[in-house]
Chains A and B, each alone.
Chain A
């Protein structure tokens, strides 16, 4: 061993030194460090679990929000549809009402025209009759001389006598 340049005592001392170092390292550095690493790993895991939970809750909230939005949208569409139908019904009712009123006005106008036509016809008839009778009176006035009138009176008295 001396020929190889290895000192036995030094080797043993180094071995003992190394063992001591190993023992001290293990007891005072490695173990606490590994426990520290373990605790850090657990903390990390705990963090991840918490994050996972939060993420799940967030997803649930988003889902709920989405459902609520859809519900609101559906209700809005239903309300809009109902309002449109009501407006359509009201529009049709108003149109029908306006049409009925217009028809009534037209019928009233026609009736008035007919009445006025009737009145004009009556007035014209009356005027024609008046004119005709005026002509007849004038003609009779000229035609009936005293002789004719005497004959008429004689006839009247004769008829009265008979009765």
Chain B
């Protein structure tokens, strides 16, 4: 399939920006909106530079705890995640 050269360039730039954005953003998923003190504590614990963004996503499905996404790394400290691990062990 022949793609238009200009369109290709635009898409390249878009995905590069997205990738860069992902590498400089920490996504914190929780069951409720975290207060700023908690976000500061998280930044301190994981030694995240100040220029990096922290985004808090509210997701009740995780039941409790936190899920931290940074670039391609995921730290699952949620209750739903623990339940899934436990289920894998049993089955």
Decide if A149 touches B31 in the complex (CB within 8 Å): yes
A133 to B42, CA, bound (A): 30
Binds B, one of A7-15, A33-41, A154-162: A154-162
Which A residues have a C-beta under 8 Å from some C-beta of B?
Answer: 125-126, 129-130, 133, 136-137, 140-141, 144, 146, 148-150, 152-153, 156-157, 160-161
Contacts known (A140-B63, A148-B64, A157-B38); A133 close to B31, Cβ less than 8 A: no
By a CB distance below 8 angstroms, the chain A residues around B3 are none
Note all chain B residues with C-beta closer than 8 A to A146.
31-32
Residues of B within 8 A of A (CB): 30-32, 34, 38, 41-42, 44-45, 60, 63-66, 77, 79-80, 83, 87, 90-91
Task: Tell me if A136 and B31 are in contact (CB < 8 A).
Answer: no
* Residue of A130, A144, A161 touching B63 (CB-CB under 8 A): A144
The CA-CA distance from A91 to B77 in the complex, in Å, is 73
Across the interface, B79 reaches (CB within 8 A) one of A140, A150, A157, namely: A140
CA distance A153 to B79 in the complex (A): 11
**Known contacts A140-B79, A144-B64, A152-B64; is-contact A129 B30 (Cβ 8 Å):** no
What's the minimum C-beta distance from A139 to chain B, rounded to whole angstroms?
A: 10
Task: State the Cβ distance, B23 to closest chain A Cβ, in Å.
Answer: 22
Q: Contacts A133-B83, A140-B79, A161-B45 given: A156-B91 contact, CB under 8 Å?
A: no
- With both chains docked as a complex, state the minimum distance between the C-beta of B84 and any C-beta of chain A, in angstroms: 8
Picked from B45, B63, B91, the residue with its CB within 8 Å of the CB of A160 is B45
Listed from nearest, the 3 A-B pairs whose CB atoms lie closest are A152-B64, A149-B64, A160-B45
Name A137's contact: one of B30, B32, B83, B90 (CB within 8 Å).
B83
A11 to chain B, nearest CB (A): 165
Tell me if A153 and B63 are in contact (CB < 8 A). Answer: no
Write out the residue numbers on chain A whose beta carbons fall within 8 Å of the beta carbon of B87: 129-130, 133
| 15 A–B contacts from the bound complex (CB under 8 Å) | A125-B91, A130-B87, A133-B83, A133-B87, A137-B80, A140-B64, A140-B79, A144-B79, A146-B31, A149-B32, A153-B30, A153-B38, A153-B65, A156-B66, A157-B41
